Amino acid sequence: MIKNQIHKNRLSRSLLFWMLVFVFATGFKASAQVELKLDTTKIRIGEQIEYTISVDKEGVDNVAFPKLQLDSLKKIELVKSFDIDSVKNRIFKKYLLTSFDSGRYMIPKQSVLIDNVTQQIDSVFIDVSTVAVDTTKQNLYPIKPIVKEPYTFDDFKIYVWWILGILLLAALIWYLIKRRKNRPEEKEKKPAIPPFELAKKRLKELDDKHLLEKSRVKQYYIELTDIVRNFIETEMHIPALESTTGELMETITDFNKSSHLDIPKDTLLKLKSLLRDADLVKFAKSKPLPNEIDLHRHDAEDIIDVMHPKAVNKEKKEEDGQ
């Protein structure tokens, strides 16, 4: 029993010993891997320092160099951070530093990550001194006045663009005015054709189109009724173009009574029949016989001939009354 206990104690001590050896060996190796190098620690204002961190590549897979932490007073400035480079068996990263304030400043410890193990780099002090001026050899002169820089085209470029824009606009206005003055005066508009004459003219033009011979019966009725409706609206001032057949007949009947036009009843019946049959052709695809088409053509002209003198007489009576 005692022997077993002694044996176990020896094994524990041996295991602990080798663990300590491994830890110290590993720590020693890691600490030997990182190296800090500065080309100088003393500079004058505006001069630069090369701050270089290098790592032994042997046995190392991954290295993450630090984002440099500078002094707490922010007097040391980072001029440039160079790309990672390597030479022989070492990998390194170089930083260029400077300062514009005299004094002594400490760059704190930096951390380098090597194979997921953080290694620390010792802090370092940087001395920055002013530039001494020997007044016995260098005479002092009064401060010179500010010298104005010579003007360049870029100083006036915006004004040039404005002037060009104004000139272009002025040229456009001048061109439009001149064009308007040189434009020949428009001829006096011819007087509009009276509704009665226009209706007669359109009826003749409809006959000359020979739509029936081309089997375009629907188009024929569309134009025929449009001629009649347009005549009624312009000659008698009754809304006819946008009214349905029923609305138009009701309006023209009331108008005939109230205005004493004395339009014959058979003329109103012809108008109603013409518009109703035309609606059947246009919307119900009705196909009238040739003699019915001739009758509708004759009725359309007859309606215009009868209504025209009635409207003229009405206008004369109104003028006489005035």
The separation between CA 185 and the C-alpha centre of its own chain, rounded to angstroms, equals: 44
233 shares a domain with 314: yes
Last residue of a domain, one of 129, 161, 178: 129
Give the Å distances, CA to CA, from 28 to 24, 25, 60, 114, 122: 6, 5, 14, 14, 16
Q: In this model, does residue 24 exceed pLDDT 80? A: no
Q: What range defines the domain where residue 37 resides?
A: 32-129
For the chain, the domain total comes to 2
Is the residue at 225 inside a domain? Answer: yes
Last residue of a domain, one of 78, 94, 129: 129
204 shares a domain with 107: no
What average pLDDT does the chain have?
A: 82
Q: In this model, does residue 312 exceed pLDDT 70? A: no
* pLDDT tens by residue, 40-60: 999 999 899 999 999 988 878
210 shares a domain with 100: no
What span, in angstroms and rounded, lies between the C-alpha atoms of 12 and 5? 11
295 shares a domain with 202: yes
With CA atoms as reference, report the closest residue to 294 among 222, 233, 237, 217.
217
Is the residue at 65 inside a domain? Answer: yes
Last residue of a domain, one of 129, 152, 180: 129
Helices (H) and strands (E) in the chain, counts: 7, 11
Q: Please name the residues in contact with 120: beta carbons below 8 A apart, sequence gap of 6 or more.
A: 109, 110, 111, 112
| CB-based contact 112:66 (threshold 8 Å) | yes
Is the residue at 302 inside a domain? Answer: yes
Angle at 16 between CA 11 and CA 20, to 5 degrees: 150
Is the residue at 218 inside a domain? Answer: yes
125 shares a domain with 50: yes
Which CATH number belongs to the domain containing residue 104 in this structure? 2.60.120.570
* pLDDT tens by residue, 118-147: 889 999 999 999 876 666 666 667 777 877
231 shares a domain with 305: yes
306 shares a domain with 224: yes
What span, in angstroms and rounded, lies between the C-alpha atoms of 127 and 47? 11
Cα distance between the two ends of the chain: 150
Q: Please name the residues in contact with 168: beta carbons below 8 A apart, sequence gap of 6 or more.
A: none
Is the residue at 24 inside a domain? Answer: no
Q: What pLDDT does residue 143 have?
A: 78
pLDDT band at 23 (very low <50, low <70, confident <90, very high): very low
Is the residue at 175 inside a domain? Answer: no
Determine if residue 201 is left, alpha or beta; phi over 0 gives left, psi from -120 to 50 gives alpha, anything else beta: alpha
The three-class DSSP label of residue 88 is coil
Q: What pLDDT does residue 135 have?
A: 62
Q: In this model, does residue 237 exceed pLDDT 90? A: no
What span, in angstroms and rounded, lies between the C-alpha atoms of 235 and 296? 21
307 shares a domain with 207: yes
Percent of the chain with pLDDT over 70: 80
204 shares a domain with 119: no
What span, in angstroms and rounded, lies between the C-alpha atoms of 322 and 316? 10
Region 60-87: what's the mean pLDDT?
89
Task: Enter the pTM of the model.
Answer: 0.42
Q: What pLDDT does residue 82 have?
A: 93
Q: Which amino acid is at 236?
A: M
- Torsions phi, psi for 33 (to 5 deg): -75, -35
